[in-house]
Chains A and B, each alone.
Chain A
Amino acid sequence: VDPNNFKTCEQSSFCRRSRKVQSSGSKYALIPGTLNSYTDSLTGDLVNKENHHLFSFKLEALAGSTFRLRIDEKQPLRPRYKVEHALKGQPEAGRIRLHTETDGEIVITSERTKAVLHGDPFYIDFYEHDVLVVSVNSKNWLYFEHLRPKPNEPTEQREGEQEDQDGAVETPKLTDSIDDPGAWEENFKSHHDSKPYGPEAVALDFSFPAAEILFGIPEHADSFVLKSTSRTDPYRLYNLDVFEYIVDSKMALYGSVPVIYGHGAQRTAGVYWQNAAETWVDIQTAETNVVSSLVNFVSGSRKTPPPGAHFISESGIVDAFIMLGPKPIDTFKQYAALTGTHELPQLFSLAYHQSRWNYNDERDVTAVSAKFDEYNIPMDTMWLDIEYTDGKRYFTWDKFKFPQPLAMIKNLTELGRHLVVIIDPHIKRDNGYFFHQDCTEKGYYVKTREGNDYEGWCWPGSASYPDFFNPDVRQYYASQFDLSRFQTVTADVMLWNDMNEPSVFNGPEITAPKDLVHYGNWEHRDVHNLYGHMHLMGTFAGLQQRDPNQRPFILTRAHFAGSQRYAAIWTGDNLADWPHLQHSIKMCLTEAVAGFSFCGADVGGFFGNPDAELLERWYQTGAFLPFFRAHAHIDTKRREPWLYPERTRLVIQNAIRKRYSYLPLWYTAFYELEKTGAPVIRPLLTHYPLDKDAFGIDDQLLVQDRLLVKPVMQQGVSKVDVYFPAIDDKKNGDLWYDADTYERQERVGYVSVPVTEYKIPVWQRGGSILAKKERPRRSAPLMLHDPYTLIICLDRNGRAAGTLFLDDEKSYDYRQGQYVYVSYDFSENQLTTRFIGKRLYESDAWIERIVIAGLERVPSSVGITVNGVKQNLESTRQGGAVVIRKPNVKMDVDFLLILHYA
């Protein structure tokens, strides 16, 4: 991509204005006597001591060690936008106790947490168990541009003409002037932003005194650990359609999730900055980790200031959630408690997806599906990109290429497969197109400042964009999915929402102009990062209304905080090269801790043609990311596995089959995500928070706390260096078992591991139990009744534990107790079961095999007791494990397995 097509902070008026505060500081103070306290909150007024403008703030305690701080103008000229629909609901309130109110210092406590407010200058310190973890405005970078009348016309014109003019001359109040030339109108390239409401930025700094690193604020193609922005532009959050994006970059991408975490060995905390306008985030952190850690080592204390983040947004209010941990997983769950999680997906969506822009016609779709069977490669979902439509009119089909969509869909569903079709938000301006007619007549499109329907250019040519912020528009759109209307699909056809940043080919920065007007008279500027989210809400509602008992599957490109409740994401239009493969993990790890566990990258790379080795390694990597889809640009060569040499096809078959074998783990992990908010894939620091060397590792990932995955993501290597993390600061670690051989790994730190082209370096943690299904099938739904294999990997004490969830893999019946959720425990040579919840689901599945790794010896006999009946089982050593043959017990039945040693 050409970075010049996108703004720098310096080219963005509000960013350069707000950033200036970093050198001057600001002067906000609490006004004595304005404080009011309630059971869960504290309110008061603030004053800007330079221009005497008044603000009101509210500090609330929420359940789960979280505070919410809101600051708005006390009497704004017009209302300022407050984000809606991002939170999953009204957050559960906490309770506070007000302790002291002396010398302008107010202390409130809520359970284990404490907030200390300082009056002048105004700042708040947040403590978790008496450790200071987050300071808000400790740098005095709070910057709140109050709404103001537009200066008279001549002044404005002169300002426009002459950039370096002294603003003091035109504006009456010296201290209240904003003399930036972009304050009241702004140009970028050939685009003009009329900015009718003038400057209205909000900015605030957050410090993390107990942290050593910061991470979060996706979506950026960058390392997991955020880098200092002292010599660069800030990280940018502005949903944009970026073509062939650059890696190792702070540029904005398709999604914006303004949540950041600070992590240190003792404490983890986070801040969710709830603002949907364009946002820049400056990061203050040690420039070079080596030097600072040396300094710390020598001095025994921190010499550098604590890591900090400065959030700068173009409009809206200050609405910040301060999540106080204390552990990484606690903090992730606190964020999930606010914005929600993906619900349990249908199993098929966790299996392998086959996409391409485009599968040309029905014959193509059917032939590709058949080839997967010919080569015995499991495949669950075929995808259709924009070309299936009649001239990019969504909810229609190209009648020549797809004359019989229902027959084509049936061909797929007969084998348990699914179809996903794309529906984008740009609507073709064609008077013969019903959707366009309806939106025009009903006034459903996003409007220009003058009140006309906005017209942009996208795939269909001239297009307009439904205003999904209007509930009527969402309902109209949702109703289109009804099978009585969209008759050419079935309730098994799922959805892909692309281009919903929104992408506008001829718009500023390839998106919509900021002065467009949305429902409620809000400017696009206020809500930009939520546009895709609102699109998703419509799609999700549509699919649920279409078939209330089937869980929708949606893939989206644009996303905001909370979009994870509706859709999976992928990392957009990547490239077929090794750096983009490596970034697929870095990006998905960041997304996962920001709520988006259901994340993946286009396997093979969207643009360009991967060679055999890159494609093989990409499949192996994709097989261990939650969303596993191959996809390619229309100008690339076809790359279905059989079009490569036989070895590549077999490597790919192997990787996909491995994915299918672990589907019970993925499915259980997603169930547990919905229940607890714990991410499905996790960075090492989640479970090894004390190991400083593990903080920055972003080429490995954990699947829950059960698997450690280090895919081969380098060209031409015969070994990879794998980092085995320490559980403490004394280089003690877990035991790890190679997932293929059960060979035991006991070391901590980097270990060089040989790899062949088939090898996906994966270890199961000693102490964990997981379930697999080892019979390959054409698609995941055909595995429903297949038996399970339990894999038990023992820790140093000969113990292990783990869960398994199963249900019908498709409906919402699990919410009525139609599931089996079992916890397995192994200790003292005994395996026991404990069922959680109702156990109402009846499954034909059974346990065909139990593999135990880490036993010193093969037991002389193995006995199983089911319903009081005892039976002996055969056991044999296979590699580093003992395999117990055919326990043959149903999944919802209690049993006791005992290993005997003579």
Chain B
Amino acid sequence: DVPRPRGVSLIKAPLYQPRAGDDSWTCLDGSKTIPFVQVNDDYCDCPDGSDEPGTSACAQGQFHCLNKGHESVDIPSSRVQDGVCDCCDGSDESQVVGCANTCAELGAAAAIQRRNQAELHKQGAEKRQEMITRGRQLRADRETRRLELERRIKDQEALKSEKQQIKINAEALESDALEVFKEQQRELDADTVQAEEEPQQMRQEASLSFGVYDINKDGFVEVTELMVDINLDRDRNGVVTVEEAKYFLDERERVDLDAFVTLAWPRIKPLKMLAEGLFQPPHADEQVPKVPVEATTEGVQQSQPQPTEEQIDMEASTDGEADEEGDEDQYDDEEGDVGVGEASPEIEAPAPPVYDPETQRLVEQANEARNALEEVERNIREIEQEVKEIDEQSAKDYGQQEEWAVLDGECYNFEDREYVYTLCPFDRASQKPKNGGAETTLGRWEQWIGEGYKYSKQKYGNGAACWNGPQRSAIINISCALEPRITSVGEPNRCEYYFEFETPAACDSEAQRAESVHDEL
């Protein structure tokens, strides 16, 4: 044992030697020289507090607990001689306090803890390795798929110009024929009036809905205002996402009445009708012979990662020109059954005009050309959509080794007394009352925010707004374990949630180092 003043570590012992000759000593910051007997005399002489390593005299001093059998630590001088045993060897307090020396026990416990942690990390690291492999595979698959899609876009673009040309030609012929036909029909055409009424009625009902959606009555329907209508939850996941809502607004943040009538309502209406039971989505098998477009999309669907969304997409787009007839048949049929409700549209299909056979042939030809082009364009859109999704995924930070990628698409639940909390990593966090009631979005994926080690914490933001408060958000603290699970959820700040989440993905050496550093603090 090296003789040294109380509270001084072995490393610093050489600094606490009286100067030979006059028994003086200089403060460690060099600011002052004092008699060595004033070291640890319970009076603070040095501005840096270095003369009182073993007492509480200096406010900014440090006391070294040797803690033999456990880890040595430095504690602030303010904890010396205050009657509380802070060092496990009890060296910070006088005999009177009678601190028990608990270092041996603590040291043994800590060793076990360390071993367990090491073992956990070792096993976790194996699992993590699998996740890395799968994550890398996923990335490779995405890249392959993307190249494939790019190729297909090129093909489709070529096809598109071809079909465009055919359409132009067919429409020219049709146009001429119709001109002639219309000339003949003009004087008999009493239905025109009715035909004009149709958009009128459409507008009326759209305005009504506009009024309902425009909650804050600012003359615009915004994304958030649509997000409250669960009918618009196209992917049926229980929440209307921003993306979903934006689809209905033609990818805009908000629309005014006119834009709503022309752009938004045609997309919303089918879903409203669907919700009200007024509208049955076309069954693919029935539609195949009638509407060739459906058959094509059916084919596309099989290769889509999210078939349900596509399905809804199709349903929503059925108000396109090409499908008009079919839709309205469906719709008219249903209307009679359920009775005319407030929201039920009152559009009657105009009787289709009866053309002479030649005109009929040209019109059909033009329809076919249009449909064909439509189909190609639709294919392109769908491919582009998939490319976009792939790019979005690729843009997400799945870790340095893609170890987090497999968590995207998974969801984990945690129940407490009142709520079921859900975390879908890289997507969203949410909360649902156990006694029924709607799910609340606590936040959508934003980024990694770990301090020190980035991959120890995730942030989900932009959740549903609190009454009289901010938008909800969630922080996910992640630690290593063999099985993925949420261990606790709290709301320390109003509307700011904290999840404790465990996964083998976090069992890497860097995280362990970061953790152990944190423990020491």
Beta-carbon contact of A848 and B493 below 8 Å? no
A374 at the interface (CB under 8 A from B): yes
Total A-B contacts with CB atoms under 8 angstroms apart? 55
Question: A360 and B491: CB pair below 8 A?
Answer: yes
User: Does residue B490 face the partner (Cβ distance < 8 Å to A)?
Assistant: yes
Contact residues in B for A886 (Cβ distance below 8 Å): 41, 43
Contact assessment for A778 and B82 in the assembled complex, using a CB-CB cutoff below 8 Å? yes
Stretch at the interface among A118-126, A708-716, A769-777: A769-777
* A637 in complex: contacting residue of B81, B84, B417, B493, CB < 8 Å: B493
Q: Is the CB of B59 within 8 A of A638?
A: no
Contacts of A777 in B (CB 8 A): 56, 78, 82
Closest to B56 in A: A775
Contacts of B493 in A (CB 8 A): 637-638
Q: Return the chain B residue nearest A368 by Cβ.
A: B492
* A786 to B42 CA separation, bound complex (whole angstroms): 11
B83 is contacted by which of A657, A782, A885 (Cβ under 8 Å)?
Answer: A782
B219 interface residue per 8 A CB criterion: no
Enumerate chain B residues within 8 angstroms of A784, measured Cβ to Cβ. 83
Q: Is B20 an interface residue (CB 8 A)?
A: no
Contact with A along B57-87 (1 / 0, CB 8 A): 1010000000000000000101101111000
- Given the contacts A376-B76, A637-B493, A776-B59, A848 and B42 also touching, CB distance less than 8 Å: yes
B492 contacts A775, C-beta separation under 8 Å: no
In this complex, what residue of A is CB-closest to B469? Answer: A635
**Cβ contact within 8 Å between B494 and A635:** yes
Instruction: State the majority secondary structure of interface residues on B.
Output: loop
Asked if A782 meets B42 with Cβ closer than 8 Å, knowing A376-B78, A637-B493, A776-B59, the reply is: no
- Over the window 336-354 of chain A, the binary record of Cβ atoms lying under 8 Å from chain B Cβ atoms (1 yes, 0 no) is 0000000000000000000
Report the bound CA distance from A400 to B82 in whole Å: 34
- Residues on the A chain within 8 Å of B2, using CB: none
Which residues of B are interface residues toward A (Cβ below 8 A)? Answer: 41-43, 56-57, 59, 76, 78-79, 81-84, 417, 468-469, 490-494, 521
- Of the candidates A400, A416, A848, which one forms a contact with B57 in the assembled complex, judged by CB atoms under 8 Å apart? A848
Residues A374 and B492 in contact in the complex (CB < 8 Å), given A774-B59, A782-B82, A786-B56: no
* Nearest 10 pairs of A and B residues by beta carbon: A782-B82, A886-B43, A638-B493, A776-B78, A775-B56, A776-B59, A635-B494, A400-B417, A777-B78, A777-B82
Chain A residues with CB below 8 A from B42, complex form: 787, 848
Q: Are A634 and B494 in contact (CB under 8 A)?
A: yes
Q: A740 at the A/B interface (Cβ < 8 Å)?
A: no
Nearest CB on B from A783, distance (A): 8
Task: Give 9 CB contacts A-B under 8 Å.
Answer: A360-B490, A361-B490, A634-B494, A638-B493, A775-B57, A776-B59, A777-B82, A778-B79, A785-B83
B469 touches A782 (CB 8 A): no
Instruction: Please indicate the chain B residues that have their CB under 8 angstroms from the CB of A787 in the complex.
Output: 42
CB-based contact B57/A635 at 8 Å: no
Chain A residues whose C-beta falls within 8 Å of the C-beta of B59 in the assembled complex: 657, 774-776
Q: How many angstroms between the C-alpha atoms of A782 and B82 in the bound complex? A: 5
The complex places the Cα of A635 from the Cα of B493 at a distance, in Å, of 8
Say how far B508's CB is from chain A's closest CB, in angstroms: 27
Give the one of A636, A849, A886 with max B CB within 10 A: A886
Complex contact B43–A885 (CB within 8 A): yes
Give the shortest distance, in Å, between B76 (CB) and chain A (any CB).
6
CA gap between A641 and B492 in the complex, in Å: 15
Which B residue's beta carbon lies closest to that of A787? B42
Chain B: CB-nearest residue to A776: B78
| A312 CB → nearest B CB, Å | 39
- The answer to whether A775 touches B43, judged by C-beta atoms less than 8 angstroms apart, is no
A414 contacts B by Cβ under 8 Å: yes
Give the residues in chain B near A638, CB-CB below 8 Å.
Answer: 492-493
- Residues of chain B within 8 A (CB-CB) of A637 are 493-494
Are A364 and B492 neighbours in the complex by a CB distance under 8 Å?
yes
Q: How far is the CB of A412 from chain B (nearest CB, A)?
A: 12
Q: Which residue of B lies closest to A367 (CB)?
A: B492
Max chain A Cβ within 10 angstroms of own Cβ: one of B82, B83, B84, B469: B82
CA distance A636 to B469 in the complex (A): 9
> Least Cβ distance of B281 to chain A in Å?
44
Number of interface residues of A (CB under 8 A): 31
Contact mask A733-775 → B, CB, 8 Å, 1/0? Answer: 0000000000000000000000000000000000000000011
Chain B: minimal CB distance from A615 (Å): 16
Please measure, in the bound complex, the distance between the C-alpha atom of A782 and the C-alpha atom of B83, giving whole angstroms: 7
Residue A697 interfacial (CB < 8 Å): no
CA of A784 to CA of B81 in the docked complex: distance in angstroms?
11
Known contacts A364-B492, A787-B42, A885-B43; 17 additional CB pairs below 8 A are: A361-B490, A363-B490, A364-B490, A376-B76, A635-B469, A637-B493, A638-B492, A774-B59, A775-B57, A775-B59, A782-B82, A783-B82, A785-B83, A786-B56, A848-B42, A848-B43, A848-B57
Point out the residues of chain B lying under 8 angstroms from A400, CB to CB.
417
- Residue A42, interface by CB 8 Å: no
**In A622-641, which residues have CB < 8 Å from any B CB?**
634-638
Contact of B84 with A782 in the complex, beta carbons under 8 Å: yes
Whether a CB of chain B sits under 8 angstroms from the CB of A415 is yes
Q: Nearest B residue to A657 by beta-carbon distance?
A: B59
Chain A residues near B490 (CB, 8 Å)? Answer: 360-361, 363-364
How far is the CB of B13 from the nearest CB of chain A, in Å? 25
Q: How far, in whole Å, are A635 and B57 apart by their CA atoms in the complex? A: 42
Q: Do residues B84 and A635 form an inter-chain contact, with CB atoms below 8 A?
A: no
Q: Which chain B residues border A416 with CB–CB below 8 Å?
A: 83-84
Tell me the bound Cα distance from A700 to B494 in angstroms: 36
A406 to B79 alpha-carbon distance, docked (Å): 24
- B494:A778 contact, CB within 8 angstroms: no
Output the nearest chain B residue to A400 by Cβ-Cβ distance. Answer: B417
**Which of A414, A775, A785, A848 is in CB contact (< 8 Å) with B84?**
A414
Minimal beta-carbon separation of A400 from chain B (angstroms): 5
What residues of A have a CB within 8 angstroms of the CB of B469 in the complex?
Answer: 635
Cβ-defined contact, B417 with A775, below 8 A: no
Set of chain A residues within 8 Å of B82, measured between Cβ atoms: 777-778, 782-783
Cα distance A785–B84 in the bound complex, in angstroms: 13
Q: Which of A413-435 contact B (CB under 8 A)?
A: 414-416
Closest-by-CB residue of A relative to B58 is A775
B212 to chain A, nearest CB (A): 30
Given the complex of chains A and B, what is the CA–CA distance between A885 and B468 in angstroms? 58
Whole-angstrom distance between the Cβ of A677 and the nearest chain B Cβ: 35
Q: Which of A364, A635, A776 contacts B468 (CB 8 A)?
A: A635
Given the complex, which residues of A lie within 8 Å of B417, measured CB to CB? 400
Q: How far is the CA of A376 from the CA of B79 in the complex (A)?
A: 10
Tell me which of B43, B78, B468, B521 contacts A778 (CB under 8 A): B78
Q: How far is the CA of A636 from the CA of B468 in the complex (A)?
A: 11
Residues of A596-638 whose CB lies within 8 A of B: 634-638
List, in ascending order, chain B residues with CB within 8 A of A783's CB. 82
- CB-defined contacts of A785 to chain B, threshold 8 Å: 81, 83
Who on chain A is nearest to B491 by CB?
A: A360
> CA A787 – CA B57 in complex, angstroms?
9
Chain A residue with Cβ nearest B84: A415
Quote the shortest CB–CB distance from A645 to chain B (angstroms).
15
Nearest CB of B to A441, in Å: 32
The residue in A775, A784, A848, A885 that gathers the most chain B C-beta atoms within 10 A of its C-beta is: A775
User: Considering the chains assembled together, what is the distance between the CA atoms of A720 and B194 in angstroms?
Assistant: 80
Complex CA gap A361/B78 in Å reads 28
Shortest C-beta distance, B389 to chain A (Å), equals: 36
* Neighbouring B residues of A415 by C-beta, 8 Å: 84
Q: Is the CB of B56 within 8 A of A360?
A: no
User: How long is the Cα–Cα vector from A299 to B476 in the complex, in angstroms?
Assistant: 76
User: Is the CB–CB distance between B78 and A775 below 8 Å?
Assistant: yes
Chain A nearest CB from B391 CB (Å) reads 36
Chain A residues with CB below 8 A from B492, complex form: 360, 364, 638
Cβ–Cβ < 8 Å partners of B79 in chain A: 778
| CB closest residue in chain A, given B494 | A635
A40 to B488, CA, bound (A): 72
Q: In the complex, A783→B59 CA distance in Å?
A: 13
Residues of A within 8 A of B521 (CB): 374
Residues 336-392 (chain A) with a chain B CB within 8 angstroms: 360-361, 363-364, 374, 376
Q: How far is the CA of A489 from the CA of B82 in the complex (A)?
A: 25
